[in-house]
A and B are shown apart, each in its own frame.
Chain A
Amino acid sequence: MTHSSFLQDELKISEQIDGDRVILTLFGALSVTTVPYFRQAVQPYLERNLAVIVLDFEGVTKIVSRGVGAAIDMAVQAKKQGGKLRLENVGKYGRSLYIQGVHLVADVPELEGFEP
């Protein structure tokens, strides 16, 4: 696999802190390229033992299973520390998240008709 500067996926994350809760809004692709940044960017919030970390998927343009796996890891870590991870505005990515079992460890909007 090689890289190309003009094809590179990008991910930007904005934060909004409200007491012991933070909303992290994702803009761009949650792809193989951006997952390391995704993990690195969220880790400091996990270490702050916040009650709720919200990942807002409103601006997500692409998602791959590795990205979903990263969200699962974050949810597990948050849970172990007594907090929780919540995913909002998952839209069309809902089924992919459920298929990988994100709903087992994080708060995810209910998905009608999902049969595991």
Chain B
Amino acid sequence: MSDKSLKLQISIPPVEGIEDVPVAAVEALASKMGFEPNRVQDIVQALTEACVNAILYSTSEMDVEVVVTAMHNGLILEVCDRGSGFDPDSIKPPDFKLISEVGVKNGGFGLHMIRELVDKVEIESSERGTVVRMSTFLPDSTLSNSAPNSTLPAHPSDSSSLMPQP
């Protein structure tokens, strides 16, 4: 047994409803890691949103990759798709005053929701695909019961290797 990080990779075809499979795995993992039930639900919800977006905007039959890195002090989820990409900066925060008056009409606020639910979100997107990286940290109280040898790195993985290859 060691305190080394644990990495899981689940490939899912871009099929509606299949996101339940990696989400169930991550829910079990987050619970085992000691996240509070509310935080587990936040993680589940964020991953669901990211997977649904990846599946919805897939432009080919190529798999969506869900990469899960569990560390002693947190959990990093990466959802990598082969869609046509988007400019993350073009997604503005919702205007709640306007929404209260006219509603949403179409779509939701998946990205806004993800940003609110996890501690850190990084998005890399190009015409080759998109990687959404979501990090959630365990509270300090849990940390004190764990091995304090390593900390969650700012960039836990080599993102270039995760970006879909042409």
Interface residues of B in 1-15 (CB under 8 A from A): 13-15
Mark interface residues in B100-113 (1 if CB within 8 Å of A CB, else 0). 11111111111011
| Interface residues on chain A, number (Cβ under 8 Å) | 33
With contacts defined as CB atoms under 8 Å apart, how many contacts are there between chain A and chain B in the complex? 109
If A1-B15, A31-B52 touch, does A67 touch B108 (CB 8 Å cutoff)? yes
- Tell whether, in the assembled complex, residue B110 and residue A73 are in contact, meaning their CB atoms are under 8 Å apart: no
CB contact between B104 and one of A3, A62, A73, A95 (< 8 Å): that residue? A73
CB contact between B110 and one of A8, A64, A93 (< 8 Å): that residue? A64
Nearest B-chain residue to A2, judged by Cβ: B15
In the complex, A77 Cα to B17 Cα: how many Å? 29
Mark interface residues in A96-109 (1 if CB within 8 Å of B CB, else 0). 10011100110000
Nearest B-chain residue to A3, judged by Cβ: B16
Nearest B-chain residue to A67, judged by Cβ: B108
- Tell whether, in the assembled complex, residue A2 and residue B16 are in contact, meaning their CB atoms are under 8 Å apart: yes
The answer, yes or no, to whether B91 is at the interface (CB within 8 Å) is no
The answer, yes or no, to whether A21 is at the interface (CB within 8 Å) is no
Nearest A-chain residue to B106, judged by Cβ: A69
Given contacts A64-B48, A105-B103, 17 further A-B contacts (CB under 8 A): A1-B14, A1-B15, A1-B55, A1-B57, A7-B15, A9-B16, A31-B17, A32-B16, A64-B49, A65-B107, A65-B108, A65-B109, A70-B104, A92-B41, A95-B38, A95-B41, A95-B45
Pull 24 A–B residue pairs with CB atoms less than 8 Å apart, ordered by A: A2-B14, A7-B18, A9-B16, A31-B17, A31-B52, A64-B108, A64-B110, A68-B109, A69-B105, A69-B106, A69-B109, A72-B103, A73-B103, A73-B104, A75-B103, A76-B101, A77-B103, A92-B37, A95-B45, A99-B112, A100-B94, A100-B109, A101-B100, A104-B96
Instruction: Report B's interface with A, CB cutoff 8 A.
Output: 13-18, 20, 37-38, 41-42, 45, 48-49, 52, 55-58, 61, 94, 96, 99-110, 112-113, 116-117
